[in-house]
Structure 1
Amino acid sequence: MTDIIHAWLELEHRILKAKRPVEAEFAAINLAHTLVPYRQAVLWDQSVVALSGAASVEANAPYVLWLDKVLRQLHRDHPTLVEAADLPADLAGHWPDWLPAHGLVLSCGSAILLFARDEPFAEGEVALLERLADLVGVTRTALSPRKITFAMPKGRRAWALAAIGIAALFFPVTGSVLAPAESVPAHPVMVRAPLDGVVDKVLVRPNDPVKDGQALFALDATTLSGRLDVARQTLATAEAEYRQAAQAMVFDAKAKAQVAILAGKAEEKAAEVRLLESQLARIEAKAPKPGIAVFDDAADWIGRPVVVGEKVMAVADESDTEIEAWVSVADVGEVRVQGVLTFFLNTDPLSPVKAQVRSVAYEASARPDSTIAHRVRATIAGNAKPRLGLKGTARIDGDSVPLVWWMFRRPLATIRQFIGF
């Protein structure tokens, strides 16, 4: 007897400490075995909610479908001892396949509990399980979310509230859109490849400070050096031929006619040498102004072929920044030039940066994250400009619109796409 009292107190404590209905349900069908031995237990509330020994209930399982029909048939407000003979023939035939011979049905608030085992239930066991069912029912009711009901006002008060609600729908609000944004250079100077070639080495790292005239990257000079050596040899040969003809024209009239031609060839070769020397002198790209080097990764450029004029990096003033935002195609209609943009930094969201929209791209372009969006540039107001490269979220304010339009613009657009008018 002492063991039963101790088991009841332990189980009662666990049910009363439950924070969710599922915790009380688990204790009712799995831990009640410490009070009364049984083989199977089921909790039903308009459908099978929980099964003993099962983590979840598969609604379309044959066992669950049969149990649902049985418990709908056995729903009682008082304890009921049941056997297969108490059911209609179509349900009783499957009882031996799914349940032991003897069952006990108990009311549990809005639900019912079914315990089943091979031996009949004694009167004391029925009373103990009935008290357990009452406790679980009260606990489930207390832990279930309550429905909030509202009293509908009548008469003049109802008409007044309706008028206020309709008027509120036409209250003007500022339309706005959110977009990912970052701080970018306002006046960057592009550093481009001076020649066709292959990038041999990058002499700075991303975001390194650079000085005016500092070398930033160099192209591979192997091909140019080889061509220059050949051009110099060709020039030496052309100059030798010219000098020989110039000396011979004193005694040979035919040589005199060749002097002008050989002089032109020598000058042509000299011009080619000067061209290659000037190209070799420009094999290194240098910083056009002081600032920081803006590019992604040096390893992406080393060994990469480039053509003349191709952008490799940029040099920008770290404090001379503006805001670049990417607005989705669905929201770009809300964005206007000269509109107000508020930039919320990820690093300091409580100190937003104010800016004014300077330009909106008319055509959407693909972004690295595989989305399509319109580029928006905004000039920062004031001198407190965020550091280059900081990211965040931009809120771009548009025109004033009625509240009802602001609420239903997107749903209406979606509906219109489907119905076609």
Structure 2
Amino acid sequence: MNAPVRIEAGDLALLWQLAARAREAENEQTLGFTIVNETLSLVPYRQAAWWRAPSHAPGAVAAVSGLPQSDPGAPYVQWLGEMFRALVKPASRDGQGDGSADGAQAEGAPAPQGQDAAAAASGDAAGQSPAPSKRPYAFTSAHLPDGVAADWSAWWPMHALWVPLVDRSGRPFGGVVFARDNAWTHTDEVMLAELALVWAHALAAFAPRATLAARAKLLLRPGKVRRRALAGLALLCVVPVPLTVLAPAEVTARDAFVVRAPLDGVIERLYTQPNQRVTPGTPLFALDSTTLASRYAVANKNFDTAQEEYRQTAQLAVTDDKDRLDMVMRRGKLDESQVELDYTARELARVQVTAARAGVAVFADPNDWNGKAVSVGEKVMLLADPANVELTVSLPVADDVDVKPGAALTLYPKSSPLTAYDARIDTVAYRAEPTPDGVLAYRVKATFTGSGARPVLGVMGTARIHGRWVPLAYYLLRRPLTTARQWLGW
């Protein structure tokens, strides 16, 4: 365990000021200038460079001390890029494996090699691994390839210090290299390590948000995390869920009495209003009686004429045998006119239609029927019992989930979004028919269950039909698979 590091009060004040400057940076460029230039007030050095290491592209030299902006074409900047790539390349190879941040060095951390690297980093014996990638450590030209190390003396002093920038989640933001003539002390490393945490936190605020694909790729990296994620996903796919479907529904009357037109004619007047309660014998509507009244008057006149002719013939038949035969013919004509008169009277009495039982008159608008010609047997309205209702659901063919009688469903009325009614399916039509909206659907009838209040007749809403239990993967992929089969024909 390392001994506590003593830091002077003045250095602590400078450390706090540099941290504040990093937090106040308006953008990444301002932060980079602060890192490579203003850190000189805390730790002496001759050269400093910040290397940005985004995950989607090769690293680049983002800031160099003493320059307001780095020029990628400058020889010095090009040499820095080669040096950073040489430092990071071994770490990139070491970082492959289980993908954890606690394994070998992560991307963006140089890996010095040999005895000098181990001694400069942590004082370990030769051949051992260098210090952890999250901690600063010193290195020299001996840790670089010959092609890069040959130009070290032309650009840099002898001793360099690598300060990795890694946030708390392990995401690398590259690193900062400081170079000077004197060797780096443990105190310098501790103060710069503290500043590196502040810089990484500030860079994380400027970094673009990871996309869903990037997060998924990070989650599925080789290792225990990926195995656990795949196992959890596989387990989630087989979790049983109820297969449900939504369909429009309406509360309709059960065993409603159909009021039909008793004969051909024109509706003259409706005596009731929609949803009006009626009792047996209450007038509902009347047909135009002009034609029937004329026919009744003619039939009545014919009956009177036939009756008078029969009376006269009967008187003459008392004295003349020839008139007796004529009396029989007159009697038949009288009976015929009597039948016609009775039939016309009955038809005239049926012009006014009354309620056969108590209930609520169910129809749309009286203006739709006034003056309308109707045929015998044509439905005009319904007489429904408000307490005896059922649920009618129009199940689209595309949403059919093999609904069977006895399945449960729930009605969510549009007029009362906080109320729900449970029901049980009684019948399912075997044949789909077009709805008024032009959708091909099966007609489903259901009875409300429970002892609570029933919805009002005519209420419309959405019914959730509860089907069988299926795996979650089937629930999510049922519609896409159906569409794919229709397009591909398999």
Given the two structures, how large is their TM-score scaled by the length of structure 1?
A: 0.64
Query: How many residues end up aligned between the 2 structures?
Result: 286
Partner of 1:279: 347
CA shift for structure 1 position 317: 1.7
Task: Give the 3-state SS of the residue equivalent to 1:315 in structure 2.
Answer: strand
**Is the alpha carbon distance of 1:163 and 1:219 closer, same or farther for their aligned partners in structure 2, counting shifts above 3 Å?**
same
Partner of 1:147: 211
8 Å CA contact 1:176–1:334 kept in 2: the answer is no
CA shift for structure 1 position 77: 9.1
Quick one: distance in 1 between partners of 2:319 and 2:339? Answer: 31
**Does 1:196 find its partner at 2:196?**
no
**Does 1:325 find its partner at 2:390?**
no
1:24-35 equivalences under 5 Å are none
1:258-407 equivalences under 5 Å are 258-383=326-451, 384-407=453-476
1:122-137 equivalences under 5 Å are none
CA shift for structure 1 position 154: 3.1
CA shift for structure 1 position 151: 3.3
CA shift for structure 1 position 247: 1.2
Quick one: distance in 2 between partners of 1:207 and 1:142? Answer: 66
8 Å CA contact 1:319–1:386 kept in 2: the answer is no
CA shift for structure 1 position 157: 4.5
8 Å CA contact 2:426–2:447 kept in 1: the answer is yes
User: Highest Rg: 1 or 2?
Assistant: 2
Quick one: distance in 1 between partners of 2:349 and 2:290? Answer: 13
Task: Give the 3-state SS of the residue equivalent to 1:338 in structure 2.
Answer: coil
Task: Determine what percentage of the aligned residue pairs are the same residue.
Answer: 39
Partner of 1:100: none
The C-alpha deviation readout for 1:71-123, integer Å capped at 9, x for no partner, is xxxxx999xxxxxxxxxxxxxxxxxxxxxxxxxxxxxxxxxxxxxxxxxxxxx
8 Å CA contact 2:220–2:229 kept in 1: the answer is no
Partner of 1:37: none
**Is the alpha carbon distance of 1:168 and 1:144 closer, same or farther for their aligned partners in structure 2, counting shifts above 3 Å?**
closer
CA shift for structure 1 position 364: 2.0
8 Å CA contact 2:245–2:401 kept in 1: the answer is no
Quick one: distance in 1 between partners of 2:219 and 2:438? Answer: 50
Deviating 4+ runs (over 4 angstroms): 141-146
The C-alpha deviation readout for 1:6-48, integer Å capped at 9, x for no partner, is xxxxxxxxxx9xxxxxxxxxxxxxxxxxxxxxxxxxxxxxxxx
**Is the alpha carbon distance of 1:375 and 1:264 closer, same or farther for their aligned partners in structure 2, counting shifts above 3 Å?**
same
1:30-179 equivalences under 5 Å are 147=211, 149=215, 150-179=218-247
Task: Give the 3-state SS of the residue equivalent to 1:261 in structure 2.
Answer: helix
CA shift for structure 1 position 248: 1.4
Quick one: distance in 2 between partners of 1:192 and 1:182? Answer: 23
Partner of 2:299: 231
CA shift for structure 1 position 251: 2.2
**Is the alpha carbon distance of 1:215 and 1:163 closer, same or farther for their aligned partners in structure 2, counting shifts above 3 Å?**
same
The C-alpha deviation readout for 1:135-179, integer Å capped at 9, x for no partner, is xxxxxx979765353332533543343233223222222111101
8 Å CA contact 2:426–2:446 kept in 1: the answer is yes
8 Å CA contact 2:427–2:445 kept in 1: the answer is yes
1:182-261 equivalences under 5 Å are 182-261=250-329
8 Å CA contact 1:178–1:395 kept in 2: the answer is yes
8 Å CA contact 2:219–2:226 kept in 1: the answer is no
Task: Give the 3-state SS of the residue equivalent to 1:212 in structure 2.
Answer: coil
Partner of 1:414: 483
Quick one: distance in 2 between partners of 1:385 and 1:375? Answer: 21
8 Å CA contact 2:409–2:466 kept in 1: the answer is yes
1:11-22 equivalences under 5 Å are none
Task: Give the 3-state SS of the residue equivalent to 1:363 in structure 2.
Answer: coil
Q: Give the letter aligned to residue 389 of structure 1.
A: G
**Is the alpha carbon distance of 1:370 and 1:354 closer, same or farther for their aligned partners in structure 2, counting shifts above 3 Å?**
same
Unaligned stretches of 5+ in structure 1? 1-15, 17-75, 79-140
CA shift for structure 1 position 277: 0.9
CA root-mean-square deviation: 2.4
CA shift for structure 1 position 373: 1.6
Task: Give the 3-state SS of the residue equivalent to 1:200 in structure 2.
Answer: strand
Quick one: distance in 1 between partners of 2:295 and 2:400? Answer: 54
8 Å CA contact 2:411–2:422 kept in 1: the answer is yes
**Is the alpha carbon distance of 1:163 and 1:198 closer, same or farther for their aligned partners in structure 2, counting shifts above 3 Å?**
same
8 Å CA contact 1:175–1:334 kept in 2: the answer is no
Task: Give the 3-state SS of the residue equivalent to 1:393 in structure 2.
Answer: strand
Structure number with higher relative contact order (C-alpha < 8 Å, ≥ 6 residues apart): 1
Quick one: distance in 2 between partners of 1:188 and 1:327? Answer: 23
Quick one: distance in 2 between partners of 1:197 and 1:237? Answer: 29
Q: Give the letter aligned to residue 147 of structure 1.
A: T
Task: Give the 3-state SS of the residue equivalent to 1:334 in structure 2.
Answer: coil
Task: Give the 3-state SS of the residue equivalent to 2:398 in structure 1.
Answer: coil
Quick one: distance in 2 between partners of 1:379 and 1:363? Answer: 20
Q: Give the letter aligned to residue 471 of structure 2.
A: P
